[in-house]
């Protein structure tokens, strides 16, 4: 294949293909108004499951990469990505930021990282957890405590 043949090939096949790929990547972002923006990304370290008469506490060190909590902001909306994109409402109050599911299915509470030092020394768990995620599962409640990889 000579140089002219290569130029013709690139002009005819390669560049149009690359343009189509770029458009397929960019069009969904434009249609959403902006790119998805992860505002909270946490990894659970402890799971507590409770019923009316039973409580199970599990350390999740072996599963840590699998149990995450992710919230994205798309436009003015917050979505609980790891719970079927449930829409959330954000509340800022004192030292906490709370994301509450609009359908009542749970919430995530996060230390405002700028205010966190107010709690230093209050109990033995200071510095261990950054957030909690709480939701019902039937008549059982499940609470995860974890560390943030990305804070709001």
- CA distance linking residue 86 with residue 80, whole number of Å: 5
- CA distance linking residue 60 with residue 48, whole number of Å: 10
**Residue 150 has what pLDDT?**
77
- CA distance linking residue 92 with residue 56, whole number of Å: 31
**Residue 2 has what pLDDT?**
66
Per-residue tens of pLDDT for the chain, all 152 residues: 566 676 666 566 655 554 454 545 454 444 444 456 999 898 898 999 999 899 999 888 765 566 788 999 999 999 999 999 999 999 998 788 999 999 999 999 998 776 666 666 555 555 678 899 999 988 999 999 998 887 76
Helix (H, G, I), strand (E, B) or coil at 128: coil
Listed in sequence order, the residues at least 6 apart from 131 whose beta carbon sits closer than 8 Å to its beta carbon are 40, 42, 69, 108, 109, 110, 111, 145, 146, 147, 148
Q: Are 117 and 6 in contact (CB under 8 A)?
A: no
pTM greater than the 0.95 cutoff = no
């Amino acid at each position: 294949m000579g140089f002219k043949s290569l130029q013709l090939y690139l002009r005819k096949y390669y560049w149009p293909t690359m343009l189509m790929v770029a458009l397929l990547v960019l069009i969904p972002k434009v249609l959403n108004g902006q790119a998805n923006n992860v505002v909270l990304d946490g990894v659970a370290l402890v799971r507590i499951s409770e019923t009316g008469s039973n409580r199970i506490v599990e350390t999740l060190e072996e599963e840590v990469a699998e149990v995450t909590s992710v919230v994205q902001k798309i436009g003015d909306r917050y979505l609980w990505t790891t719970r079927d994109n449930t829409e959330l409402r954000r509340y800022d109050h004192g030292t906490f930021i709370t994301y509450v599911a609009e359908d009542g299915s749970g919430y995530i509470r996060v230390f405002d990282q700028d205010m966190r030092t107010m709690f230093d020394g209050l109990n033995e768990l200071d510095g261990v957890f950054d957030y909690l995620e709480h939701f019902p599962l039937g008549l059982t409640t499940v609470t995860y405590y974890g560390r943030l990889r990305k804070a709001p």
